Amino acid sequence: MDDIDLAEPHLLSWLATVGLDAHYVRAEGDHLYRLDDEGREIPVVDFAGGYGSLMLGHNHPDILACAREMLDHQAPVHAQFSRHPYAKRLAAELNAIVRRETESDEMYSVIFANSGAEAVEVAVKHAELDRVMKVAELRQEIAANIDAARAAVAAGEVSVSGEAAIAAGLDTTDFASLAARISEVNEARATTPPLLFALEGGFHGKLMGSVQLTHNAAYRNPFAALGTSVRFVAPVDISALPKIFDEERVDLLDLAVTGSEITVVCRPLPLFCAFVLEPVQGEGGIRALDARSAEQIQAACARVDCPVVVDEVQSGMGRTGTFLASSAVGLRGDYYALSKSLGGGLAKTAVMLARSSRYRPEFELVHSSTFAKDIFSTTIALKVLELLEADGGVAYARAAERGAYILDMLRSVQRDFPDVVADVRGRGLMLGLEFHDQSASAIPAVRRHAEGGTFGYAVAGTLLERHRVRTFPTASAPNTLRFEPSIHIGDAEVAQLEAGLRDVCAGLRAQDAAALVDH
Ligand code: F0G
């Protein structure tokens, strides 16, 4: 029974085909360690960084000490439905940072979660609760206006205008018929499904709700029946958002008393649930949103009261050189999702921040999580923020400096191998190198990987085996390798990556059959 692997054996067998089925026994800083045949540790420099979860590296000593302190003092990890002063402090600290970076004094309420996808789903759930409550509030307002008009008609003060009858599609100015028609129309329109928008190439998780927002069809299509359909916006269509939104508009009918006449007024139905986006797309290929697009999205969404959910799960926590990647392009979220590095490489945690002007306290009574907001992950998150904010936020400057250093190296590789490297992009320590399509390679193995969408993984396996460098492609853009090390990444490790990349590029250029390790 022992040799049967029931823990995702299919994935592991596939990892073995590209040489990525490594077993790591220890991790520290920017290194993972595997054992050689004699049991000696072999250091592997980690540029995958837990998909962006290791701003401070593996097993940071201060974070380890923080964890040990809690464990040694029997911290009450499971204390649901009680006071959580550490959560209150974390919410306050996050607010101070976000308000500083967005140059705003508006508060954000914080809901805790356990993963990135969960934080995104909590944001969309809250946005939908807010929308549903707004629809109910609008309908109550309309009902009150109808009652007021009915009273005015009964008092002989007003009468139904001909335009009102026409607007309601009636051939009578009888008030009762008008009121009945308005109620009938509004009843049908009020249940129009919510509209959700996301960007093409976006990745927001693979849970039942968040996968609907993830553009990659392979991840999303099998589960489409389980969730609300999302409209994906191409970068080229961002400038057309006002028109796209106008085409989706649905109005409820309302009555107004103007002088001695009753008129029909159109009231936009709160239809727009959320526009979810990453300021720098990670899994979709390291693609940064430019300031102009950010401004256009922000303005179009504000016009129709569509909240913007800024997914900073991967780009946040200082990775791009500012705490929020979105603040660097002037994008202000109605909601933020943060996770990955918030857990300091040790804890699983996430938060959703909701702008106070949109916050619905009722949400706290209809949403919960067993593990979220616990003392262990929350205290570690506080230690992470302390380390990031120390010495005036030198960590963010270091992320920018280290990122620029690595970007310079990647650009030098691109300059020397323009026939192999198509693009280098990213910001801070969220970087990508895109290879040209290798489907026409003279090397059968390379052609096979290119055609099968596994070329980036084959390169990653080669870098691991030959150069002890760990990285992965961005899964939805498999020709793009991603580089997301910690702020402590050293010049020697960058040189190790450079040597590996140059080795692979030279082999691909020479159409050398041994360019990639073939498993
Ligand atoms: N949002 C973004 C922007 C992400 O990059 C991820 C995960 C998630 C949400 C989901 O977070 O895995 O904790 O549920 N990104 C990984 C990647 C999977 O490959 O970049 P999760």
C-alpha dist (Å) from residue 317 to 161, 311, 326? 59, 12, 11
Q: 277 near 309, Cβ under 8 Å?
A: yes
342 lines ligand 1 (CB under 6 A): no
Amino acid in the structure at residue 339: S
282 lines ligand 1 (CB under 6 A): yes
Q: Is the dihedral of CA 371, 374, 377, 382 positive or negative?
A: positive
Q: How far apart are the first and last CA of the chain?
A: 28
Which burial class, exposed, middle or buried, applies to 186 when counting CB atoms under 10 A from its CB (0-12, 13-18, 19+)? buried
Distance 45 CA to ligand 1 centre (A): 22
pLDDT, tens digit only, all 519 positions of the chain: 678 999 999 999 999 999 999 999 999 999 999 999 999 999 999 999 999 999 999 999 999 999 999 999 999 999 999 999 999 999 999 999 999 999 999 999 999 999 999 999 999 999 999 999 999 999 999 999 999 999 999 999 999 999 999 999 999 999 999 999 999 999 999 999 999 999 999 999 999 999 999 999 999 999 999 999 899 999 999 999 999 999 999 999 999 998 999 999 999 999 999 999 999 999 999 999 999 999 999 999 999 999 999 999 999 999 999 999 999 999 999 999 999 999 999 999 999 999 999 999 999 999 999 999 999 999 999 999 999 999 999 999 999 999 999 999 999 999 999 999 999 999 999 999 999 999 999 999 999 999 999 999 999 999 999 999 999 999 899 999 999 999 999 999 999 999 999 999 999 999 999 999 987
| ipTM of the prediction greater than 0.95, yes or no | yes
| CB atoms closer than 10 angstroms to residue 473 | 25
* Nearest atom (ligand 1) to Cα of 482: 20
Q: Beta strand 272-277 with 195-199: parallel, antiparallel or unpaired?
A: parallel
286 lines ligand 1 (CB under 6 A): no
User: Which of 340, 369, 480 to probe ligand 1 with, by most ligand atoms within 8 A of CB?
Assistant: 340
Q: Which residues contact 180 (CB under 8 A, 6 or more apart)?
A: none
Phi, psi angles (nearest 5°) of residue 186: -65, -35
Token couple for 321: 């050189």
Distance 99 CA to ligand 1 centre (A): 24
State the Cα–Cα distance between residues 421 and 438, nearest whole angstrom: 11
Token couple for 493: 């490790």
